[in-house]
Amino acid sequence: MTTNQQILLASRPQGEASAANFRLVETALPALNDGQVLVRHHYLSLDPYMRGRMNDSKSYAQPQPLDTVMIGGTVGEVADSRHPTFKAGDKVVGMGGWQQYSVVDAGQPGMLRKVDTTHIPLSAYLGPVGMPGVTGWYGLMKICEPKAGETVVVSAASGAVGSVVGQLAKVRGCRAVGLAGGADKCKYVVDELGFDACIDYKQHPDLKSLSAALKDACPKGIDGYFENVGGMILDAVMLRANAFARLAFCGMISGYNGEPIPMTYPQLILTNRLKIQGFIVSEHMEVWPEALKELGTLVAGGRLKYRESIAQGIAAAPEAFLGLLKGKNFGKQLVKLT
């Protein structure tokens, strides 16, 4: 192959993101220099954090520059190499972005990592044995600090991160309760993932109703909460939180278009002495080896379940991403590129 299809960020969203914010282009593949590796991507990961990068606003990371390839995790195989550590055919994971191929300076630490697909499917390295899995592991283990017999709640429970949180909580002897949108997702969370309960937030349009549902699902209150959504779901959880509950803030998808997210009863933070901590998993690389070892062992042994939504072809990435932001995906959202 001599050409590469790429999706660029063409413009910044004004409110809700749209397909018009992206542009598909075709470029020539450059010749490799010493130390570089050409990777053919098999799968592209689509993740909610990408929405924040599209904005030109202050955040934990620099905005995605306009007219550049959209950021994103990828898995694939080495197509050509001028670096001694990598050879053609090696399976690798990296941040190749929204494109069919990437040229990587393989000598830079952390740019490219070889993976073993003997017992773990390649795509899983973008889900439960990748960034989403480590995100769930870190927030649960280091912030929620689960203890056997406690109750852990997670929003977006059927998604790539939330599904890992609940299953890890069960491994540690906790009661795991999820929140998800729709009966099918809730059935999956309980029947397939092994959560003790799952609340369909679409059936509870107001705070009183959702809080009552949480009371039924969490008769001993809530000790740990993994936050992916914000808004009314956070309010309902805080009403049911026990004293000294720990809340890990991972994502606030209800505010990704820039709107404010009011908190109805902030006084509960004081009343219940809550610990609320936000985190960005890329700032905690020291835990990745430990987390990936446990996650990989669980997936290889069939003890950590996961589900994937797969869009076909690089041109499908924008619509798949917009669907992800609206909860249309079921499990980890990927784009298959081969």
Let me know whether 146 and 270 are in one domain: yes
Q: What is the mean pLDDT of residues 210-219?
A: 98
Residue 139 contacts residue 158 (beta carbons within 8 Å): no
Let me know whether 140 and 225 are in one domain: yes
Q: What is the pLDDT of residue 18?
A: 97
Residue with the two structure tokens 């029947």: 191
Residue 199 contacts residue 179 (beta carbons within 8 Å): yes
Q: What is the pLDDT of residue 181?
A: 95
Task: Assess if residue 274 is contained within a domain.
Answer: yes
Report the residue count for the chain: 338
Residue 317 contacts residue 98 (beta carbons within 8 Å): yes
Percent of the chain at pLDDT > 70 equals: 100
Q: What is the mean pLDDT of residues 300-312?
A: 97
Rounded distance between C-alpha atoms, residue 199 and residue 163, angstroms = 14
Let me know whether 181 and 321 are in one domain: no
Rounded distance between C-alpha atoms, residue 338 and residue 332, angstroms = 18
Specify the CATH number for the domain of residue 200: 3.40.50.720
Let me know whether 258 and 140 are in one domain: yes
Q: What is the pLDDT of residue 61?
A: 79
pLDDT band at 332 (very low <50, low <70, confident <90, very high): very high
Task: Assess if residue 215 is contained within a domain.
Answer: yes
3-state secondary structure of 132: helix
Let me know whether 50 and 149 are in one domain: no
Beta strands in 29-87, from DSSP E residues, in sequence order:
36-45, 74-81
pLDDT band at 109 (very low <50, low <70, confident <90, very high): confident
Rounded distance between C-alpha atoms, residue 285 and residue 242, angstroms = 31
What is the domain count for the chain? 2
pLDDT band at 331 (very low <50, low <70, confident <90, very high): very high
**DSSP calls for 270-330:** HHTT-EEEE--GGG-GGGHHHHHHHHHHHHHTT-S---EEEEESGGGHHHHHHHHHTT---
Let me know whether 106 and 33 are in one domain: yes
Task: Assess if residue 20 is contained within a domain.
Answer: yes
pTM assigned to the model = 0.94
Rounded distance between C-alpha atoms, residue 164 and residue 241, angstroms = 21
pLDDT band at 256 (very low <50, low <70, confident <90, very high): confident
Task: List, in order, residues 6 or more apart from 41 with CB less than 8 Å away.
Answer: 74, 75, 76, 96, 99, 100, 101, 102, 337, 338
Let me know whether 223 and 201 are in one domain: yes
DSSP 84: T
Within 10 angstroms of residue 6's Cβ, the number of other Cβ atoms is: 19
Burial label, 165 (beta-carbon count in 10 A; 0-12, 13-18, 19+): buried
3-state secondary structure of 70: coil
Rounded distance between C-alpha atoms, residue 259 and residue 163, angstroms = 27
Average pLDDT of the chain, as a whole number: 96
Q: To which H or E segment does residue 198 belong?
A: strand 197-200
Q: What is the pLDDT of residue 254?
A: 82
Task: Assess if residue 301 is contained within a domain.
Answer: no
For residue 184, CA distances in Å to 36, 37, 189, 194, 305 come to 45, 42, 9, 14, 16
Residue 189 contacts residue 180 (beta carbons within 8 Å): yes
Q: What is the mean pLDDT of residues 173-178?
A: 98
Structure tokens at 67: 């007219």
Q: Which domain holds residue 171?
A: 131-282
Task: Assess if residue 70 is contained within a domain.
Answer: yes
Let me know whether 100 and 237 are in one domain: no
Let me know whether 275 and 135 are in one domain: yes
Which of 228, 276, 235 has its CA nearest to residue 256? 228
Structure tokens at 23: 């542009």
Let me know whether 79 and 140 are in one domain: no
Beta bridge partners of 155: 179
Specify the CATH number for the domain of residue 87: 3.90.180.10
Rounded distance between C-alpha atoms, residue 144 and residue 322, angstroms = 30
